[in-house]
Amino acid sequence: MLAKAVNLHIIISMEKIEVEELVKFKMLPFDLYNDNGDKLVNAGEILTSGKLLQISQYENLYKETPKTQKSSKKQKQQQEVEINIIDEPASFEKEKPKEIIFDKTVNRKSKIKAQAQVDMKSYFATTMFAIQENAKQDAIQMVGEIKDKILDDVHAILPEVKYCSQLKLLGNYYDCHSLNTAILVTALGYKLNLDEDYLEKLTKAALLHDIGMTRLPKEILEKTILSQQDTKVFQTHTQIGYKILKQEMGLPEDICLVALEHHENNDGSGYPFKLSGEQISEMARMVGLCSFFDDLTSNRTPLRIKNTKEALRVMLEVGSKKFTPQLLYQFVNMYNYNDLESYEEMAQ
């Protein structure tokens, strides 16, 4: 009883605050406490995505009132934090890995050689199989090999590429999406003359950005229209993906954050934390843009797209609500805009 009385006194002297209100702060201007009066975050700390995820696990949060608020010096560098990510819902039954069926669909207009297209998809499917089988170290090595292959192939064909569609793999969405995202973001990275080490991380992060999908119920992934509850379950793939990459595979924080943040939007309307602008990591902004473009051209959005030109038009219409304007401009102008051939025709 005594402990409860002490804790109650602490809470009364503070003001309750919702986690949604915290995302507007890059640096926290007050100390933050939980129900028990335990200090969770010091005033002056940088609110990283990991830190936000950590404190969102508490049901109630409290900030000091102006009378008791303490001042602190600004921290100059963002701290990397170890976090406890959400667990996968108990109702999820992990799918036993299916027998690998290699997708041999080829984009006949692609500048990537036909056999290379098939090899990429089959090797990526094998990698996902390894992850589901808990062969994490094997999977890490395999992801590295796919990453190297994409870097080499994209670099070799860049002078010949006129349209974005000439980089796209066709076939089963789940066999192609992460590969397409990685290929596009690699091409963008080369166009922007990114540092070699940074580009390697960026390509790897793109390959793994949807890794959380491997832990979602199969029936959710197979639906074309999601209910409100289905959507909530689907959106957990970002946090589950972070957990897999961080806790199970031990990958660097900047790669893990791409899995966590690639559905955040420039205007703060995305998920899971409604981050905006520069609160979203740079890699996540780039991967998120390329991922959305592939979703458009794969008809995985409510908008029906016939060709790349229509997809680019939609990207421009969405504009700064979803993407950083400068990055969007660079992507749209990466290749010729007037790309009219349909993807159905390319696969024939």
Segment 282-329, tens digit of pLDDT: 999 999 999 999 999 999 998 889 999 999 999 999 999 999 999 999
Instruction: Tell me if 96 is assigned to some domain.
Output: no
Instruction: Tell me if 286 is assigned to some domain.
Output: yes
Q: Mapping DSSP to helix (H, G, I), strand (E, B) and coil, where does residue 111 land?
A: coil
Residues 136 and 28 in one domain: no
**Range of the structural domain that residue 172 is part of:** 114-346
Residue 68: the pLDDT is: 33
Q: How many domains does the chain have?
A: 2
Residue 24: the pLDDT is: 63
Residue 64: the pLDDT is: 67
Task: Report the predicted TM-score, pTM, of the whole model to 2 decimal places.
Answer: 0.74
Residue 141: the pLDDT is: 92
Residue 21: the pLDDT is: 75
**Per residue in 8-51, pLDDT tens?**
333 335 788 887 677 666 566 677 888 878 888 877 666 666 67
Instruction: Tell me if 103 is assigned to some domain.
Output: no
CA distance 58 to 35: 8
> 284, 275, 279, 278: which is closest to 253 by C-alpha?
284
Residues 118 and 47 in one domain: no
Residues 199 and 290 in one domain: yes
Instruction: Tell me if 98 is assigned to some domain.
Output: no
Instruction: Tell me if 77 is assigned to some domain.
Output: no
Residues 51 and 139 in one domain: no
Instruction: Tell me if 90 is assigned to some domain.
Output: no
CA distance 186 to 201: 10
Residues 21 and 145 in one domain: no
Q: Alpha helices of the chain — where are they, by DSSP H?
A: 2-12, 19-22, 49-55, 114-132, 136-157, 173-191, 196-208, 218-222, 228-235, 237-243, 253-261, 282-297, 308-318, 325-332, 343-346
Residues 51 and 123 in one domain: no
Instruction: Tell me if 109 is assigned to some domain.
Output: no
Instruction: Tell me if 143 is assigned to some domain.
Output: yes
Residue 295, token pair as written in the block = 């979703």
Residues 231 and 302 in one domain: yes
Residues 120 and 60 in one domain: no
CA atoms in the 13 A half-sphere facing the CB of 203: 26
Residues 263 and 138 in one domain: yes
Residue 47: the pLDDT is: 67
Amino acid sitting at position 26: K
CATH code assigned at 295: 1.10.3210.10
Residue 96: the pLDDT is: 52
Residues 126 and 59 in one domain: no
Residues 48 and 139 in one domain: no
What residues in the chain have per-residue pLDDT under 50? 1-12, 65-85, 89-92
Residue 217: the pLDDT is: 92
Residues 190 and 295 in one domain: yes
Classify residue 299 as exposed, middle or buried by CB count within 10 Å of its CB (0-12, 13-18, 19+).
middle
Q: Mapping DSSP to helix (H, G, I), strand (E, B) and coil, where does residue 90 land?
A: coil
Residue 48: the pLDDT is: 67
Is residue 175 within 8 A of residue 191, CB to CB? The reply is: no
